[in-house]
Amino acid sequence: MRTLIELARPRTLPLALAVICCGNALAYHQGNWRCSVFILSLLTALSLQILSNIANDYGDGVRGTDRHRPASAPRRLTASGAVSIRQMRQLLAAGVLASLSFGIALLAVSSPGWSGLLLFLLLGALAILAAITYTVGRYAYGHHALGEVSVFCFFGLLGVIGSYYLQSGGYTPAVLLPATGCGLLSAAVLHVNNMRDIDSDAAVGKCTIAVKLGFARSKRFHLALLAAAATCYLAYAASAPASLLWLLACPALACHAKRLYCVADPARAGGELKSIVLITCVINLLFSLGLSLAA
């Protein structure tokens, strides 16, 4: 059981919570919310996050990428031999089944109509495919500097706008701002992870944005992600001032940015991973709380 918990990487799961809470709070603020849709949205997002984590461990373990990870990085179970290749494949199949089951149940409860049903079935299939092919397959896009782009799309645009649509039955352009902000923060989480692994990834030919930019420019890119995300949340406040409750997290965000910018060793950048995950979650929860209290 302990191995399974380690494989799920519970420290990353608050990202799924943040995304779903953001989308649901936007709908709740406009008078559209059902508890069953919220719970199933959350379970679907969590199952996709866990599936992605399992696939990442398996893919990099099979490729040999994880044999060169820095000592500060968490253990990877496939590379260490703690879980066999066969067991990992079984867990991947179980993860796909769980994601499909929760996703289908979500669509059954939310009743998005035939056009919405077909759209979300397609998006759900793409989400499962993206979760697996991040490091698995001949063209694992995580090895071609597309990881942050995928996270931005699925843990930002699709997660927030999709959960909003399933609650409200429609779409309004204003939700694109917090969806973009959430996606940028989620991308920042992955970028810190890739900054930590920059030397080991470069050694095995894994091309990430961090590897392409180099460590110094990667730090500046990270600051740009944070600044752009903050701008999106601030811009949304023009239509919902109560959402500004997230500003309470600004001191923590500024401290994180300063600490990371001052780091000289890529391996030490990993020390900020827990911080940015927590900050991303807190910003979105405060944003959601502000909207909910003003509903």
Quickly list H helices, the chain: 2-8, 14-29, 35-63, 77-80, 85-110, 113-133, 147-152, 162-168, 176-196, 198-203, 209-213, 215-236, 250-262, 266-269, 273-293
What pTM does this model have?
Answer: 0.93
Quick one: pLDDT band at residue 215, thresholds 50, 70, 90?
very high
What is the rounded average pLDDT of the residues 206-230? Answer: 97
Question: Distance between CA atoms of 12 and 280, rounded to whole angstroms?
Answer: 11
Among 41-55, 79-93, 271-285, where is mean pLDDT lowest? 79-93
104 with 136: CB under 8 angstroms? Answer: no
- The pair of structure tokens assigned to 235 is 């811009």
Domain boundaries, the chain: 2-293
What is the rounded average pLDDT of the residues 114-130? Answer: 94
Question: Distance between CA atoms of 106 and 20, rounded to whole angstroms?
Answer: 13
- Would you state the pLDDT for residue 139? 85
* pLDDT, averaged across the chain: 92
Question: Distance between CA atoms of 10 and 12, rounded to whole angstroms?
Answer: 5
Question: Distance between CA atoms of 200 and 252, rounded to whole angstroms?
Answer: 29
